[in-house]
């Protein structure tokens, strides 16, 4: 048997654009109302990144905070994983641009695209490298600038999204048990329910794709909603079963912030009290891969998580995908 290390999240960081877009402003842009948005989604405002900045810029700010909080210098990073569906470019990976801006020369760096589940997928990938003693200091960043791929004339999507970035440092753990169980899944049958149709090799950009707005997110919200509620509950049960824990033992459960009604529906099925489910969707909307790390960072910063607490994170999104991690903080 080879050596096997426990893996913990040793620090967190986040970055949010300063510019707020309120429901009131959206009322002037599309046929919608503050009342509809709040009652159907729970969102009151979201952040929008100014056009001179890109995903890598926001990612770097969140990464610097996580590195500072872990007392780590950029040259000590062994691996950079960036989860994003809105990379700076199709090629090269945003992780390489982040590496360059951080001056973390030489370490491997790559992107993963698992939609809103990307950060949790990234955590699980990073965990493998530490567990098998390949790397010690891993930066996992979830960043999305969905405002850049949003059709601002489509009221069924443009009210939902916000921009943001969140980062964590993963390290071997000497005391806390760290990651206890993980669960990843994908259902590619549902790929069509949430996609950006053009701009890839299937439908390269041309005049028509631009004219027909095929470079923007297209979503079948109802289908994603149904998938989300079921898969969240299933994933949490898998995580608990694998680690031999019961739901009452969880201190906090961080769910992807896509819609307050999804969180509520899952909460009722799981039969747990609302105070165990932190929510920030009213302030930031759906930040895709950034949603969970930003929520986690806020709760760490506010002192809601202490050493030894059991927490779980579950995200779902394009793919369709779902990912969950249960860990001892």
Residues that bind ligand UT7 (CB under 6 A): 32, 36-37, 40-41, 116, 155-156, 159, 194, 221-222, 224-225, 228, 258-259, 286, 317
Q: Rounded to the nearest whole angstrom, what is the least distance from the CB of residue 102 to ligand UT7 in the complex?
A: 28
Question: Are 37 and 321 in contact, with CB atoms under 8 Å apart?
Answer: no
> What whole-number distance in Å separates Cα of residue 34 and Cα of residue 43?
9
Do 238 and 185 meet the contact criterion of CB atoms below 8 Å apart?
no
Q: Which CB atom, from 26 or from 80, has the smaller least distance to ligand UT7?
A: 26
Do β-strands 310-317 and 321-328 pair in parallel, antiparallel, or remain unpaired? antiparallel
Contacts within 8 Å (CB) and 24+ apart, 268-277: 269/229, 269/233, 270/233, 270/236, 271/247, 272/247, 272/248, 276/250, 276/251, 276/252, 277/252, 277/253
Instruction: Name which of 49 and 60 has its Cβ closer to ligand UT7.
Output: 49
- The residue sitting closest to ligand UT7, measured at its beta carbon, is 221
Smallest distance from the beta carbon of 33 to ligand UT7, in angstroms?
6
Residue number with CB closer to ligand UT7 (86 or 137): 86
Judged by CB, which is closer to ligand UT7: 173, or 291? 291
Cβ neighbours, 10 Å, residue 45? 18
Q: Closest distance between ligand UT7 and the C-beta of residue 195, in Å?
A: 11
Q: Is 103 a catalytic residue?
A: no
Given the residues 69, 137, 259, 286, the one annotated as active site: 286
Q: Which of 256, 259, 297, 322 is catalytic?
A: 256
Nearer to ligand UT7, 214 or 224 (CB): 224
How far apart are CB 41 and ligand UT7 at their closest, in Å? 5
What is the smallest separation between the CB atom of 255 and ligand UT7, expressed in angstroms?
Answer: 11
Please identify, using beta-carbon distances, which residue of 155 and 242 lies nearer to ligand UT7. Answer: 155
* Residue 125 beta carbon to ligand UT7: minimum distance, rounded to whole angstroms: 20
Catalytically annotated residue among 96, 116, 158, 322: 116
Q: Is 256 among the residues known to form the active site?
A: yes
- Which residues are the active-site residues? 116, 256, 286
């Amino acid at each position: 048997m080879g050596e096997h290390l426990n893996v913990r999240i040793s620090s967190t960081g986040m970055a949010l654009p300063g510019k707020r877009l309120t429901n009131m402003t959206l009322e002037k842009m599309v046929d919608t109302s503050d009342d509809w948005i709040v009652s159907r989604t729970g969102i009151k405002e979201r952040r929008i990144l100014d056009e001179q900045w890109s995903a890598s810029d926001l990612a770097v700010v969140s990464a610097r905070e996580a590195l500072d909080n872990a007392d780590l210098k950029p040259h000590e990073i062994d691996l950079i994983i960036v989860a994003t569906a809105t990379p700076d470019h199709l090629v090269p990976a945003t992780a390489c641009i982040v590496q360059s801006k951080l001056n973390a020369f030489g370490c491997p760096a790559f992107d993963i695209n698992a939609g809103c589940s990307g950060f949790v997928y990234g955590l699980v990938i990073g965990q493998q490298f530490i567990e098998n003693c390949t790397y010690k200091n891993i930066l996992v960043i979830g960043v999305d600038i969905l405002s850049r791929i949003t059709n601002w004339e489509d009221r069924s999507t443009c009210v939902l999204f916000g921009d943001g970035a969140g980062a964590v440092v993963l390290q071997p753990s000497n005391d806390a048990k760290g990651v206890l169980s993980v669960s990843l899944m994908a259902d590619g049958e549902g790929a069509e329910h949430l996609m950006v149709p053009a701009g890839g090799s299937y439908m390269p950009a041309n005049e028509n794709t631009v004219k027909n707005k095929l470079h923007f997110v297209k979503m079948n919200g109802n289908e994603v909603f149904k998938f989300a509620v079921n898969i969240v509950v299933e994933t949490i049960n898998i995580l608990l079963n694998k680690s031999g824990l019961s739901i009452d033992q969880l201190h906090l459960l961080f769910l992807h912030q896509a819609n307050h009604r999804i969180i509520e529906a899952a909460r009722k099925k799981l039969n747990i009290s609302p105070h165990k489910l932190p929510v920030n969707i009213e302030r930031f909307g759906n930040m895709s891969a950034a949603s969970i790390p930003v929520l986690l960072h806020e709760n760490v910063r506010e002192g809601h998580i202490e050493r030894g607490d059991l927490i779980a994170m579950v995200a779902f999104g394009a793919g369709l995908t779902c990912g969950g991690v249960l860990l001892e903080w």
